[in-house]
């Protein structure tokens, strides 16, 4: 795990509303097709997955999940954009398999024990093309203060 500061990140994004899980995989494929059509997807692309709601508190049919491409200087898009809130994150590398990602979520209380996690902000799934090429992704847990 490393600590990283996210600053000035603008996302071209789409939102899905409904149950988390299997649906998100299809949403990701459709999102990547949209990015391809807009010629935004390349070997340096970074996509964030952001689950905005706690499934223990929000009905499954109302859960919001955003997928956003980090826009680099000079990139433009017809997609909606939003700016990510600046902040510190504890970044965990996770093998990019469904089983390992599910395991991360299951083990989250143990993994974050002792961390100054900011549970008011969402955990961000980061899918950077260079990491995906190595079969890895990253889970970014927001922090209240530096480690």
Per-residue pLDDT tens over the stretch 87-107: 999 999 999 998 999 999 999
Predicted confidence at residue 22, as pLDDT, reads 80
Q: Alpha helix (H) ranges present in 3-146?
A: 22-37, 98-111, 129-132
pTM above 0.85? yes
Write out the residue range of the structural domain in which residue 12 sits. 2-143
Q: Name residues of the chain where pLDDT drops below 50.
A: none
For 79, what's the count of Cα atoms within 13 Å in the CB-facing half-sphere? 27
Q: DSSP for 28-39, please give it.
A: HHHHHHHHHHTT
pLDDT at 21: 83
- Provide the domain count of the chain: 1
Here the CATH number for the domain that contains residue 78 is 3.20.80.10
User: For position 24, what pLDDT does the model report?
Assistant: 86
8 Å CB contact between 4 and 140: yes
Q: Can you give the pLDDT at residue 1?
A: 95
């Amino acid at each position: 795990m490393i600590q990283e500061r996210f600053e000035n990140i603008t996302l071209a994004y789409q939102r899905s509303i409904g149950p988390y899980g299997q649906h998100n995989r299809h949403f990701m494929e459709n999102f990547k097709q949209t990015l391809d059509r807009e010629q935004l997807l390349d070997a340096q692309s970074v996509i964030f997955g952001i689950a905005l709601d706690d499934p223990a508190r929000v009905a499954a049919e109302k859960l919001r999940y955003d997928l956003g491409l980090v826009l680099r200087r000079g990139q433009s898009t017809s997609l909606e954009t939003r700016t990510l809130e600046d902040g510190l994150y504890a970044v965990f590398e996770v093998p990019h398999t469904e089983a390992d990602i599910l395991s991360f979520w299951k083990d989250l209380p143990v993994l974050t024990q002792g961390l100054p996690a900011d549970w008011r902000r969402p955990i961000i799934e980061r899918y950077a093309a260079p990491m995906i090429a190595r079969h890895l992704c990253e889970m970014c847990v927001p922090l209240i203060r530096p480690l």
